[in-house]
Structure 1
């Protein structure tokens, strides 16, 4: 690990160049011992890079980082480590080193995990949808991956934790520098992953980079809300680039926060109205059917909500009058069995 950290802290060496070096020489130690003539034959190894390779500065930083990680109980996983997530190898630039806080499960090339992403400034409906979706995925044995940001990310992590599942937060900072700070309360119950050294502050350019890791660690990513230029769209495009499935949740026509998901749907993303859509698409076990004991009127409405319905739809399907249906819909919503969606629609939770 020390040699790989040495490469990580070498100026001008990014993930792609480190991967080429490791693949060419077999490991980081051999790359550091290589002769200049052998190094010059590797793509991207120009004079700017070679003058820094094997520097005492990089070696000192590597030794210090290794010791700091040991003291705070953070695990380092290098590109050549047997426990390094194989799922990340789908990336053209997999992180040379991962900083891991918590127990990261062994992840297959296509893991049973879903990335749940969306905008920070989301609607109340989107927050509720993220919670119910993540809870249902967790109950079906799916790991939830997100970015620990405010809004959709936090709702997804929280719901997974409450359902007793495993959730992974991919950070745009060091795993010891939690952002936003209010999410420190979640950290003891989740796994944190970063490609940045300890103490790294959250920087704007780190967040688009971390989104590719969310995408690669997940078999598919679902975008709940986001504008066309949002970070969640970067996650979706990264998912496509590494051969993952993209899911999108439809919103109201004309709503800027629905523009991103709607664009993805036009481009072929899988439409999601609940966890069952994801489970069916991925060929995973469906959710267990709940044996709900509901009053007769509420049971009739619940049966009618086999897809998102408006109040008018419910009236037609159940034969109830408006007042009766509204009261029973309110009772179902308050009990957490039904949720109100955008556009005056109702759906099962």
Structure 2
């Protein structure tokens, strides 16, 4: 049974005014809380005290708020009342506030949560990566997340397109009555879904084995400045961060850097030396991230109990590409594991073009092969 997280009305109103006051920085809000001991006393202290503790800019922001505090309070209270069992506002003193975040340099003063807040107390791993992931990257994200969820870990990601979405989906598939599940940390208010394409996924997370989490007020739009702040929560919530695929300049590498700053582990999956989406992972490995080939590598590194290995997959629940079919199929052998052109396949196999195209189409329809931009083909999973 999760702890009761309901806030008294006067306390909720004070927290919202203090945390969401435009022009009042998180640092200034923290100083006010430390000086006065509670948000109610901080808000009631008056302009002179605000100026003395937090400076002139903070005092002016609180005196002339550009955000209607009454509308913010009424909207938040209505949102909570619509589903009190699954919707919560968590503050620093709440029993349900995640302890891992409290250990970071900049913990959010307030979190909105929708779904299973008990997941915040379970061991968790972040899985992040490219929004433009390859089919192989999506398969790896989903398979690693499924296996780690089956192992009782909560998979944390950011609900973005690509690797994030695949990780959430895999974690939901692997959740059991004994643990697992997923947390989506988002860069909007919880009454919005971004990207819109993930509306159904967000609903599944909040209604099934998952939790939606945000530090942004209801109604907040997906502003560019929100996502680096979201990334620090993803890194701070977890025991470690797994980067599946990432370009050299990517938000995933920012999350990995934030994980290091929090004293957490960083893991990376290696890929083709020819793939731009592997270069970020290779850089992380050069800088000391732990190279992983299976989900069990992560479980063992974090000293968690090993789950049973599914009988249809290689170690760690990730296909290892050594099935009987892959040894016997010359087309799979010719495809290898890197993207390849039709001309290169034709040269490797010596097959007539019509026959080769027919086989490629058959494999694509079976889900064993993906057709990529630029006339490239790539095998999927153990395919």
Residues 159-180 of structure 1 deviation map (CA, whole Å, 9 limit, x = unaligned): 1112234111011111121112
* Rounded Cα–Cα distance in structure 2 between residues aligned with 1:210 and 1:198: 15
Where does the alignment leave 5 or more consecutive residues of structure 2 unmatched? 1-11, 206-210, 333-362, 370-377
2: CA distance between counterparts of 1:179 and 1:347?
28
1:169–1:193 CA contact under 8 A, matched in 2? yes
RMSD (Å), alpha carbons: 3.3
1:153 equivalent to 2:167? Answer no
Q: Secondary structure at the match of 1:52?
A: helix
Report the counterpart of residue 328 of structure 2 in structure 1.
Answer: 326
Mapped to 1, the partners of 2:25 and 2:96 lie a distance apart of 21
- For 1:39 and 1:14, locate their aligned partners in 2 and report how far apart those are by CA, in whole Å: 13
- The within-5 A match list for 1:100-179 is 100-105=113-118, 107-108=120-121, 111-164=122-175, 165-179=180-194
> In structure 2, which of residues 285, 293, 296 is the aligned counterpart of residue 276 of structure 1?
296
Unaligned stretches of 5+ in structure 1?
A: 295-301, 315-319
State the distance in 2 between where 1:71 and 1:140 align: 34
Q: CA deviation at 1:37?
A: 5.5
Residue 53 (structure 1) aligns with: 62
User: Residue in 2 aligned with 1:298?
Assistant: none
TM-score by length of 1: 0.80
TM, length-normalised to structure 2: 0.74
The structural deviation recorded for 1:228 is 1.5
* Maintained 8 Å contact 1:6/1:61: no
> Is this contact kept in 1: 2:174–2:181, CA < 8 A?
no
Shift of 1:283: 0.6
How many corresponding residue pairs?
317
- Assess, with a 3 A threshold, how the Cα gap between structure 1 residues 62 and 324 changes in structure 2: closer, same or farther: closer
Alpha-carbon distance between aligned partners in 2 of 1:39 and 1:271, rounded to the nearest angstrom:
50
Query: Which of 40, 52, 64 lines up with 2:74 in the alignment?
Result: 64
8 Å contact from structure 2 (residues 189, 221) kept in 1: yes
Question: Against the structure 1 CA distance between its residues 72 and 198, is the aligned structure 2 distance closer, same or farther, given a 3 Å change threshold?
Answer: farther
Q: 1:173 to 1:291 in 2, by over 3 A?
A: closer
Decide which of 74, 84, 97 is 2:97's aligned counterpart.
Answer: 84
Q: In 2 relative to 1, CA 345–177 (structure 1 residues): closer, same or farther, beyond 3 Å?
A: closer
Write out per-residue CA displacement over residues 114-150 of structure 1, whole angstroms, 9 at most, x where no aligned residue. 0000001010100100111001101111100101111
2-structure distance, mates of 1:324, 1:11: 59
Distance 1:83 1:94, change over 3 A: same
* Distance change (3 Å), C-alpha of 1:107 and 1:23: farther
Q: 2:218 aligns with which of 161, 176, 198?
A: 198
**Counterparts in 2 of 1:12 and 1:85: CA distance versus 1, 3 Å:** same
Secondary structure at 1:182 match in 2: helix
Match of 1:246 among 259, 262, 266: 266
- Is 2:150–2:174's contact at 8 Å kept on the other side of the alignment? yes
Q: Structure 1 residue 89: deviation in Å?
A: 1.4
**2:18 match:** 7
Shift of 1:271: 0.9
